[in-house]
Structure 1
């Protein structure tokens, strides 16, 4: 089947007019192929850079895609990123279509906050765009709170909380390689990166230790990957996002009146089912207070196929 890339990209761009005209952020998903005519293809904009990611071999179409993007916006860099499941060598699936990688932006700005980027990483370049409303919520609900950011990745959610005047944010992740990227964002935003800002380690080891030592937080960000890693410190076999076990621990670390914000990425349960699991796993010490999802750059009529976000309060 021949894909009319020019028509698809032009329509997607026009459908996002409200984002293009915003002066509050410069990054969004330009094309969501799963619902806009090309499953497996997504195009994201970070300032003047575009990233074209694909899971099917569409290399013969990339020049057409590049030209269509340049007709919409004066991108200075357009990168192609093919999925590793294509079985291609790295140089054949990640390369520049337009511009020089040396000109890739180091940061993107969203609601007055800078986030570091790494354009040539095969994983997400540093900022999950569907979580934009999450970062906005955190900036508006973190003042004076001590916040724990679990599965922190590049720390964007914790940084948003700090820019919202959180008292402190502690990032916990297994990868020490993320530390320099978090530090870059702290420095750019004028934040003090203290010795306890980043904890490298296994969540199934550190959360029980934090509970035993009596630690308390007024806010916890729980954003596990779609499939949580196996852990030698877990007495169970983690399944999916493993919310049942994780929430049972988080609820013990959360002070009364504190919030727990959960991001659901899997599609094997409805939003209602996921919320019910959280409340039951907390021993009914949590109540649901707010729900929201990604914005117009992630179009899908079925909300259970999108990122779903629920805020809970400790009662």
Structure 2
């Protein structure tokens, strides 16, 4: 049963040519593609030669082992490592576990629609590239020529990079995490963009919006995708 479900998910993506467009792709999403009692709580994301699995409920070792074996076999290229993020535990206790192979210790680049983004498989809560944003990044590549762009809650800045590849004249990247702002700068530099074409701000969106207004700064495009949970000096939202 597992093989039928996973093969079906892979085959329709392959028929659409999605694997030809990107090295980063969600190859399985259990909540929408399975009614299996365990598999429906699992997703599998491809990052070049790594698979990042996310479990929202506890998955048995038997099902995980079988799923890993099937995905490794049906994908048309070698998978170097499979890692699991178990979201069924308390968020503060969640950590990445390597299930198969040896994952890369540092950041590495993956291509999506011709654009490179840096991802990370170890010592992180997320690889750094949200694959459900893929259509948005593609849209930004097609529509931002000569535009000014403000990317709020920017995380690792992938939307900023996509906008710049689309010809944006100026991109402002803002996030509350110093760690992810530095990651965003790395993403920007890795694409070869000049520092002058981008502003990177470590700060609180709710504090900076009034500052932009006071300065009279306006933007052609504003990207706003806040996290479901965050802490700042002003509290929790």
TM bucket (normalised to shorter chain) is 0.7 to 0.9
The aligned counterpart of 1:27 is 24
| 1:204 Cα deviation after fit | 1.1
Q: How much is the aligned-residue C-alpha RMSD, in angstroms?
A: 2.6
* 3-state DSSP of counterpart to 2:195: coil
Q: 1:194 to 1:175 in 2, by over 3 A?
A: farther
The aligned counterpart of 2:48 is 47
Q: 1:86 to 1:19 in 2, by over 3 A?
A: farther
Structure 1 segments unaligned to the other structure (5+ residues): 239-315
**TM-score between the two structures when normalised by the length of structure 2:** 0.86
CA deviation vs aligned residue, 1:228-282 (integer Å, no higher than 9, x gap): 657739xxx96xxxxxxxxxxxxxxxxxxxxxxxxxxxxxxxxxxxxxxxxxxxx
* 3-state DSSP of counterpart to 2:134: helix
- Counterparts of 1:85 and 1:208 in 2: how far apart (Å)? 38
- Matched-pair contact (CA < 8 Å) for 2:50–2:103: no
Q: 1:195 to 1:144 in 2, by over 3 A?
A: closer
* 3-state DSSP of counterpart to 1:165: coil
The aligned counterpart of 1:16 is 13
- Counterparts of 2:15 and 2:133 in 1: how far apart (Å)? 17
The aligned counterpart of 1:136 is 138
The aligned counterpart of 1:79 is 83
- Counterparts of 1:168 and 1:87 in 2: how far apart (Å)? 36
Q: Which structure has the greater CA radius of gyration?
A: 1
Structure 2 segments unaligned to the other structure (5+ residues): none
- Matched-pair contact (CA < 8 Å) for 1:48–1:76: yes
Paired residues, what number? 230
The aligned counterpart of 2:226 is 224
| 1:140 Cα deviation after fit | 1.1
CA deviation vs aligned residue, 1:20-54 (integer Å, no higher than 9, x gap): 56432111111110022233211111111111111
* 3-state DSSP of counterpart to 1:11: helix
- Counterparts of 2:72 and 2:154 in 1: how far apart (Å)? 34
- Counterparts of 2:192 and 2:170 in 1: how far apart (Å)? 14
- Matched-pair contact (CA < 8 Å) for 1:77–1:104: no
Q: 1:172 to 1:81 in 2, by over 3 A?
A: same
- Counterparts of 1:146 and 1:82 in 2: how far apart (Å)? 39
- Counterparts of 1:173 and 1:88 in 2: how far apart (Å)? 21
The aligned counterpart of 1:244 is none
- Counterparts of 1:145 and 1:195 in 2: how far apart (Å)? 11
CA deviation vs aligned residue, 1:50-84 (integer Å, no higher than 9, x gap): 11111222141221111011111221111122126
**TM-score between the two structures when normalised by the length of structure 1:** 0.66
The one of 107, 111, 114 equivalent to 2:113 is 111
| 1:205 Cα deviation after fit | 0.7
